[in-house]
Amino acid sequence: MKYIGIDVGGTNLKAGLVDENGTILATTKMKIAAISDQEELAATMAEMTRQLAQMTGTAIEEIASVGVGVPGTVEIRSGMLLYSCNLTLRNVPLRRLFHKHLRMPLYIENDANCAALAEYYVGAGQGSKRFVMVTLGTGIGGGIVHNGKIFHGSNGMAGEVGHMSIAYGGHPCPCGRKGCWEQYASASALKRLTREAMDRAPESILAQVVAENNGSVSGQSAFIAARRGDSVGQQVCDTYIRYLSAGIINLVNIFQPDTLAIGGGVSNETDEQLLIPVQRQVAQESIPCSRDKRTRIAKAQLGNDAGIIGAALLGKKKRSI
């Protein structure tokens, strides 16, 4: 059988046809701005499903299910999209609306959980029983997989790791609280740290790196400056790694996963600059255990494909805890 995975991103709906092994066979996408209401959203998803079937010569009957990953709150049992920051829609009965167009199983899930599921089965988490995925972006997304099943908790919202507090009374977060991890270790936080460092040292190599990028601060700026021998850039990297490691240490101490994978654009930095320092700090500061039972800290492997693959796998791995 084959499966459809639909990833609701910041600007696009991306859909892919995926086989039993988690391999993407074909993809298509559509601008979210072109979708005006919930009826059109469901119709678009059905049309993308038909398009993928036609592109690959696949009969609709050969597609076992459609999975949808959204950055927001969902009710997985009823197939309801409660809220998504990318769609100006609330309380959308997505499964029921989709069934007006195609009568096939549709599953809905938070996008970070989809990414975690994909990495667990076909990415960095392969061979693990207990797996945690952390995605560094505008905020910090997270997903927890235990024995092949997404852990949802009692209210379906487990895995909001970006909103654990690492600094009581610290930086304000859009969620209304202060000191959330994502205010210190997301890509957005890294950019803020970079700007603050530039303000203190306007003649630094870091400032030159940003100037070379048309004055635009990126998540790479500090790492590039550090590679050029800039102490200001290195200080930003060191501070960021301490904040990133602080949250990872909490997750390791709480869940003791076999593997914890780091995804998102920041994770693409060199191992010497990011992964190895994080591994070292986690090993030093997490609860001691024998070397063979330590959590493996790794980079995510699937990149932008994780959302599609994980959404597609919802149908194949539909049982969850």
**Over 50: is that where the pLDDT of 278 sits?**
yes
Pairing relationship of beta strands 80-84 and 2-8 according to DSSP bridges:
unpaired
**Architecture in CATH of 127-300:** 2-Layer Sandwich (3.30)
**Over 90: is that where the pLDDT of 195 sits?**
yes
pLDDT tens per residue across span 136-172: 998 999 999 999 999 999 888 899 999 999 999 999 9
Q: Which stretches does DSSP call E strand in the chain?
A: 2-8, 12-18, 24-31, 63-70, 72-75, 80-84, 87-92, 106-110, 130-136, 140-146, 149-150, 259-263, 296-299
Q: What is the pLDDT of residue 291?
A: 64
- For the chain, the structural domain boundaries read 2-116+305-316, 127-300
CA–CA separation, 217 and 167 (whole Å): 25
Identical fold between 2-116+305-316 and 127-300: yes
* Pick among 3.30.420.40, 1.10.1060.10, 3.40.630.10, 1.10.10.60: CATH of 2-116+305-316: 3.30.420.40
